[in-house]
Amino acid sequence: MSTVTIVLLVIAIILVIAVIGLYFLGKKAEKKKAEQDEQIAAAAQTITMLIIDKKKMRLNEAGLPAAVVEQTPKLMRRSKLPIVKAKVGPKVMTLICDAAIFDRIPVKKEVKAIVSGLYITGVKGLHGPIDTSEPKKKGFWAKVKAKAASAEKDAQAAANEKGKKKK
């Protein structure tokens, strides 16, 4: 066997071991996530609140209680989380939002939110459905394609009119 085949064989073995290790770590993380979701669902309550502001910011900049910041792992403290400031009754509270529903939360509107501790897991409109559909801005290439398509339609319409005039 040449040295190249030995090196490739060693690399293949290392990759197989890494994939197997990641598979088992993923399974363990899935089970842990399922248990956490069950605990969140058990402690969930529906609360009416007025959403004041929402941002993605670091945990230590969000103004959350010191106990919450201390309990989070050090790596998570530097990552940005979806944070919602809301008026719940007479109090203004800072809450952490689920990333899946963060875009659906309307600002400066009253909503019924499903809250578990400081974590918002769901949101419903208090007075009708939530309408947060903002028109998306077109990118540069989308604008260029739209202009090209409209120019092509204009050229076809002009060619059709010339054809009709000749008849």
Q: Cβ distance 47 to 122 under 8 Å?
A: no
Pairing of strands 91-97, 80-88: antiparallel
Please give the pLDDT value at position 167.
57
Q: Cβ distance 110 to 101 under 8 Å?
A: no
Residue 122 clears pLDDT 70, i.e. is over it: yes
Distance from first CA to last CA of the chain, Å, rounded?
A: 81
Q: Give me the CATH topology for the region 43-125.
A: OB fold (Dihydrolipoamide Acetyltransferase, E2P) (2.40.50)
Question: Where do the structural domains in the chain lie, given as residue ranges?
Answer: 1-36, 43-125
pLDDT interval class at 16 (50, 70, 90): very high
CA distance linking residue 102 with residue 120, whole number of Å: 9
Q: Annotate 117-138 with b (16+ C-beta within 10 A) or e (fewer).
A: eeebbbbeeeeeebeeeeeeee
Please give the pLDDT value at position 151.
83
Residues 67-78: tens digit of each pLDDT? 888 888 888 888
Q: Between 43 and 22, whose confidence is greater?
A: 22
pTM: 0.61
Q: Which helix (H) or strand (E) holds 165?
A: helix 140-166
CA distance linking residue 87 with residue 110, whole number of Å: 9
Q: Identify the weakest region by mean pLDDT among 3-7, 19-23, 83-87, 149-153.
A: 149-153
